[in-house]
Amino acid sequence: MCQPFAWLAISPKPALNGPMTAPSSLPRLQQSPRDPAFVQAPYLFYDRVRQAGRVVFWEDWGLPVTAHSTVVGGCLRDRRLGRAAPAGFGTTPAAHLAPFYDLEAHSMLELDGPPHAKLRAQVLRAFTSRRIAALAPEIEALCHQLIDALPEGGCDLLPHYAQHVPAIIIARLLGLDDTTAPDLLRWSHAMVGMYQARRSPEVETAAVAASLEFGAFLRGQMAKRRLSPADDLLSALLATETDEDRGLSEAEILSTAILLLNAGHEATVHSLGNALAQLLRQPQLWAAAQEAADNAPALAALVEEALRFDPPLHLFLRWVKEDMEIGTQVFARGERIGLLLAGANRDPAIWYDPDRFDPQRPGKPHHAFGAGAHFCLGAPLARMEMQIALKVLIQRLPRLTLTEPPAYADLYPFHGLNTLKVHY
């Protein structure tokens, strides 16, 4: 799924890799990623980055970044850049974090070249278009069930709707029971905290505990599938173990399953919540969404604009694997660059009036799903989940209105709401 799903492949790990020294030729900008004003409106900073140069040194994050669409797109596709640190670079994680990084070590998001290609190919064989398409009726039925269960009058749509749709669907895809969804959400939230600017000793402790519990749970599920395979993704991955050349090890399957579970719901929750926030803020947009709900092409275009306008992942890191030039700046092997996906999605050189949400905007490729070797595996599922979840919600609750302004949570480099309180 996405970068991993490309959407989770950020791994800034500032505490592990340490900040780079800013080249004297680079413009320098300061902006705390935890500043409440930035959390609510990061696009103002991305405009500053873009205006300052092709590549700018973001002092608070400790590395060069770019918000230019052409530079971001080029970096995503250039094989001289990668997710894995070149030999001799990077830092060994602290011993107390071993349970978390033991799982990360076999994640396809942290691999390049043949190891990455092998993992991705096996997941693609199991994560087929047929299997994804077959989920559509289940997704629609689940959306109706969740709406039927909503509290009378109003609620927070994030925990009552947006979180459940992707979490339950990815669990079913892997062959897990719906009742596991609360634990999956809890473990995932704890582990994803390791990628965020809010990372702290308390966050690390929670992530390690979640890694141990999550790993033990999935090992138990894998043991059951070996004895009694089923028509699910976990069984399909386990079936590769007997292939000496291309088969996956238990550690690789474990990491892949956790990646799919984490990425398979985190990004979609944020994407769905962000889209609803934009639509409900402006009556004319909600009216346009109601018209699009019964028109598949119009609904697909609305979802693409939502992903462009306010994507769930804002920063994506790359290691430089050989000396090269990026945006007129020379980078040496072992340096890193941050790709501001959300900033690239608002680049006025590519998008007319980029800060306006326009459901009828002519379609162009955006960067919400990444690009290149780590392009989001789960893009088709994410798009389908968003389209169906929005369609059912619009049709069932046409008078949906906000009861308070939506606020974004302190999750950077992820970007998602803290609450989405509505009346219906």
Length of the chain: 424
* 193 has a pLDDT exceeding 60: yes
- pLDDT category at 235 given cuts 50, 70, 90 is very high
The percentage of the chain sitting over the pLDDT mark of 70, rounded to a whole number, equals 94
Q: What is the pLDDT of residue 23?
A: 60
295/190 Cα distance (integer angstroms): 38
Q: Which of 100-104, 126-130, 235-239, 412-416 has the highest mean pLDDT?
A: 412-416
For the segment 219-244, the average pLDDT, to the nearest whole number, is: 91
63/28 Cα distance (integer angstroms): 10
Q: What is the pLDDT of residue 10?
A: 41
Q: What is the pLDDT of residue 279?
A: 97
Q: What is the pLDDT of residue 234?
A: 93
Going along the chain from its start, the domains and CATH numbers come out as: 6-423 (1.10.630.10)
- For the stretch 294-299, contacts whose Cβ atoms lie closer than 8 Å and that sit 24 or more positions apart, written own/partner, are 294/395, 296/387, 298/359, 299/387, 299/390, 299/391
Instruction: Return mean pLDDT, the chain.
Output: 91
Q: Could you report the per-residue pLDDT of 294-332, keeping only the tens digit for each?
A: 999 999 999 999 999 999 999 999 999 999 999 989 999
- pLDDT category at 251 given cuts 50, 70, 90 is very high
* 18 has a pLDDT exceeding 50: no
Q: What is the pLDDT of residue 20?
A: 54
- The sheet that has 401-402: what strands, in order across it? 154-156, 421-423, 401-402
258/280 Cα distance (integer angstroms): 33
Judged by average pLDDT, the poorest of 71-85, 93-107, 345-359 is: 93-107
* 124 has a pLDDT exceeding 90: no
* 244 has a pLDDT exceeding 80: no
Q: Could you report the per-residue pLDDT of 166-175, keeping only the tens digit for each?
A: 999 999 989 9
pTM to 2 decimal places: 0.92
Q: Please name the residue that has the structure tokens 């399909």.
A: 236
